[in-house]
């Protein structure tokens, strides 16, 4: 939702660098789009574009408007979410989570919370820690559950749980603690999340702390845990993963998770939020999540039998 249709026209014109393309995307004529932009310029008292026969460029005022659009759109979306529930007397809130948290922890917590509080609807956004932090700052999310590092001076935060990243592979391929040093010496493949993910951050830090160099030829990247698990199940290699993310596969003995021989990769899941986050939601959802966690936590990984 845009606060003003003319701002949407402005946004498309600078993104597409074309009045005709922007008009076509909006299903309107080019003269109409041009007229709407002129009305916006008159209301603001500035010119937004420098135009000639060959190019369209933002003016200094246009760049200022462009920079404010994310905040305007976020405010509009947040307002629309609240207004949509007003008619049915339902309060709506947007939550966020990083990939592990958003796919494997938050859905169960949200479902239980909405069952208890029938007058509340929760919406979920998933992205990396940086994206979640930005959305909290913009006011697009009330709170987010993240496993990556964040600025503890910038956000209010509460710890939900501890977590340990483990080596995961096919049964019979892993025995006891996983010797990553030997595995890399043999040029074994490791399927990892992309740079910027919380899981990749902690694994890379672990390797640096233990003086392990991971050859590029040993790394295969995938941007979803489902893709990673399918590659591991196909016998391509091992992965580094939270037991939360492969709960079903380990319960079915399709995958085995074991610690690393070199040491532990420990991390935390934290809720982050801001002073402008809805206080009632925060004070209800965070304690509820901690009490529900024991029902959602995976069973401790068992060491595979050897011999």
Q: Helices 279-296 and 106-116, interaxial angle, to 10°?
A: 120
What pLDDT digit, counting tens, does each position of 77-109 carry?
666 666 666 666 788 899 999 999 999 999 999
Question: What's the pLDDT band for 294 if we cut at 50, 70, 90?
Answer: low
Percentage of residues in the chain having pLDDT higher than 90: 55
Question: What pLDDT score was predicted for residue 84?
Answer: 65
What predicted TM-score, i.e. pTM, was given to this entire model? 0.70
Q: Nearest CA to 107 among 116, 92, 97, 117?
A: 97
- Cβ–Cβ < 8 Å for 285, 113: yes
Q: What percent of the chain is modeled with pLDDT above 70?
A: 89
> Parallel, antiparallel, or unpaired for β 143-146 and 91-97?
parallel
Residue with tokens 């069973």: 299
Whether the per-residue pLDDT at 43 is higher than 80: the answer is yes
At 231 the pLDDT is: 97
Report the pLDDT value the prediction gives residue 85, as an integer from 0 to 100: 60
Cross-strand bridge partners of residue 263: 260
More confident residue, 70 or 158: 158
Planar angle of CA 96, 101, 102, nearest 5 degrees: 50
Domains of the chain: 5-75 (1.10.10.10), 83-161+267-296 (3.40.190.10), 163-263 (3.40.190.10)
Nearest to 56 by CA among 31, 25, 24, 34: 34
pLDDT of amino acid 50: 87
């Amino acid at each position: 939702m845009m606060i003003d249709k003319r701002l949407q026209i402005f946004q498309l014109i600078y993104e597409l660098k074309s009045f005709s393309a922007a008009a076509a995307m909006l299903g309107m004529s080019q003269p109409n789009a041009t007229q709407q932009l002129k009305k916006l310029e008159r209301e603001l008292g500035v010119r937004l574009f420098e135009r000639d026969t060959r190019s369209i460029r933002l003016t200094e005022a246009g760049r200022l408007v462009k920079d404010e659009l994310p905040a305007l759109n976020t405010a509009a979306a947040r307002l629309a979410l609240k207004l949509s529930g007003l008619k049915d007397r339902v309060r709506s809130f947007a939550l966020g989570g990083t990939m592990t948290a958003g796919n494997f922890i938050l859905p169960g917590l949200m479902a239980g919370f909405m069952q208890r509080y029938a007058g509340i609807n929760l919406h979920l956004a998933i992205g990396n820690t940086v994206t979640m932090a930005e959305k909290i700052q913009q006011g697009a999310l009330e709170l987010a559950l993240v496993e990556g590092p964040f600025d503890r001076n910038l956000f209010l935060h509460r710890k939900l749980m501890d977590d340990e990243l483990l080596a995961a592979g096919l049964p019979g391929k892993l025995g006891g603690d996983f010797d990553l040093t030997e595995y890399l010496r043999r040029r074994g493949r490791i399927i990892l999340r992309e740079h910027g993910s919380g899981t990749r951050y902690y694994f890379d830090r672990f390797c640096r702390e233990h003086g392990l160099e991971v050859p590029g030829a040993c790394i295969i990247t995938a941007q979803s845990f489902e893709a990673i698990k399918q590659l591991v199940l196909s016998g391509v290699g091992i992965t580094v993963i939270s037991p939360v993310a492969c709960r079903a596969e380990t319960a079915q003995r399709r995958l085995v998770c074991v610690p690393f021989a070199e040491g532990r990769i420990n991390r935390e899941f934290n809720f982050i939020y801001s002073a402008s986050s809805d206080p009632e939601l925060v004070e209800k959802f965070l304690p509820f999540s901690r009490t529900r966690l024991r029902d959602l936590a995976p069973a401790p990984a068992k060491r595979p039998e050897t011999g």
